Chain A
Amino acid sequence: MDSELVPNSYKVAVRTVANAALSDGHVEEKDFDALMNAGFNEDEIQELFAQADLVNMLNTIANISGIKIDNEIVELSYSL
């Protein structure tokens, strides 16, 4: 994710959504501002947090069920 190939808006989106999904859903006003500044409109932000919400829910189910998180997610969480 630190690659220069990936544009900042993409990094901001992934960072914010991953934070919302993996860090017990701590989302602040500055997260929304960061997304707006990166060029995302309200509909896109809503969609991004819907994704975070879905991942959060799936993680909760996975935790309860004892399913391990797959490597790509683990990799993302470390690269943020």
Chain B
Amino acid sequence: MEVSNPYLGYKILFEAMVKFSAGISMIKNLEELPLEINLHLKYLINFQEFNYYFIKENKVDCLWVNQTGKASYSTCSLDQLDAFAQQVLESGVPASKYCKVSKTSIHSWKFYNENNHFSLLLIRSHSDNPFADKSIPLIKVVNKILSARIENLNMVQLIHFQNQKLARLTTALQAKNKEIEALNRKQESTIIEKTSRLKDSNSKLKGLIQFNSHQLREPLTRVIDMVAIKDDLPVEEYISDILPLLSESVLDLDRAIIEVVQRSEVFDNEEN
């Protein structure tokens, strides 16, 4: 009795593809990607070597997986790709070639992805375990999964770099803010000090004005009044009674002027 299920192959592939997709989506950086591909790809296609190039402008992300378990990630420029890859890249037409010596065949496809990026997929397989034509539809799905993940990881990396740059700029800005705050504080203290000195000067100036008004004005008024009564008194009486007082008042005025000058000098010295 032989039981056959025509959909078993599809079920197996579906399960393998789900695991492949889930595994790829768990990857956190590009360096781990080839190892994850290596883990799942043998359940999807026959291959000896799997090369995947994700091309973004002139930068190429190269993923290489070998059936024996070796895998690597590297970057290169477009002109470093081999002649066969360059040919497929330029023509955009899928191509394959067979090497009789090594009994291996290489299949290659170019895919146009989102954001004007494209990818190149190369599969080398041995004639003992050839790449099956029926697996070709899977290649498109594999490319879709890989290109989306690489795009995503590149974006995450870019965001990470920009965040780091932003953090550096924020630190620099915070340092500058601190400098500005220190300068502001210094300026404020200078203003407070100058205001205080100005208030002090004003107070002293006010004192000086008050002194001038009282000490200078009083003997001067006496002199003016005594001069004013000159014609009202006899000359002898004026000379004997008023002149000594006038002389005393003039001396008082002189002393007051000397004091004003001294106070002004002290004030000037304090100001300087």
**Residue ranges of A at the interface with B (Cβ–Cβ < 8 Å):** 1, 3-10, 38-41, 71, 74-75, 78-79
Question: Do A10 and B43 have beta carbons less than 8 Å apart?
Answer: yes
Write the chain B residue with the least CB distance to A79: B4
Write the chain B residue with the least CB distance to A14: B12
Write the chain B residue with the least CB distance to A9: B42
Q: Which residues of A contact B134 (CB under 8 A)?
A: 4-5
Q: Which residues of B contact A1 (CB under 8 A)?
A: 8-9
Partner of A10, one of B2, B5, B12: B12
Interface flags, B122-138, vs A, CB<8A=1, else 0: 00000001001011000
Q: Which residues of A contact B113 (CB under 8 A)?
A: none
Question: Do B3 and A7 have beta carbons less than 8 Å apart?
Answer: no
| A45 to B13 alpha-carbon distance, docked (Å) | 20
Q: Does B68 contact A (CB under 8 A)?
A: yes
Interface size on B, residues (CB 8 A): 23
Q: Which residues of A contact B43 (CB under 8 A)?
A: 7, 9-10
Q: Does B1 contact A (CB under 8 A)?
A: yes
Partner of A3, one of B9, B42, B69: B9
Partner of A8, one of B4, B5, B69, B129: B129
Question: Do A75 and B3 have beta carbons less than 8 Å apart?
Answer: yes
Looking at A3, A6, A74, A75, the one whose CB has the most chain B CB atoms below 10 A away is A6
**Residue ranges of B at the interface with A (Cβ–Cβ < 8 Å):** 1-5, 8-10, 12-13, 16, 42-46, 67-69, 129, 132, 134-135
Question: Do B13 and A5 have beta carbons less than 8 Å apart?
Answer: yes
Write the chain A residue with the least CB distance to B129: A8
A75 smallest CB distance to B (angstroms): 4
Q: A39-B68, A39-B69, A41-B69 are in contact. Are A7 and B5 (CB under 8 A)?
A: no
Question: Do B42 and A7 have beta carbons less than 8 Å apart?
Answer: yes
Question: Do A7 and B135 have beta carbons less than 8 Å apart?
Answer: yes
Write the chain A residue with the least CB distance to B67: A39
Question: Do B8 and A3 have beta carbons less than 8 Å apart?
Answer: yes
| A79 to B44 alpha-carbon distance, docked (Å) | 20
23 contacts between A and B (CB under 8 A): A4-B132, A4-B134, A5-B9, A5-B132, A5-B134, A5-B135, A6-B12, A6-B13, A7-B43, A7-B45, A7-B46, A8-B46, A9-B43, A9-B46, A10-B12, A10-B43, A38-B42, A39-B69, A40-B42, A74-B3, A75-B3, A79-B2, A79-B3
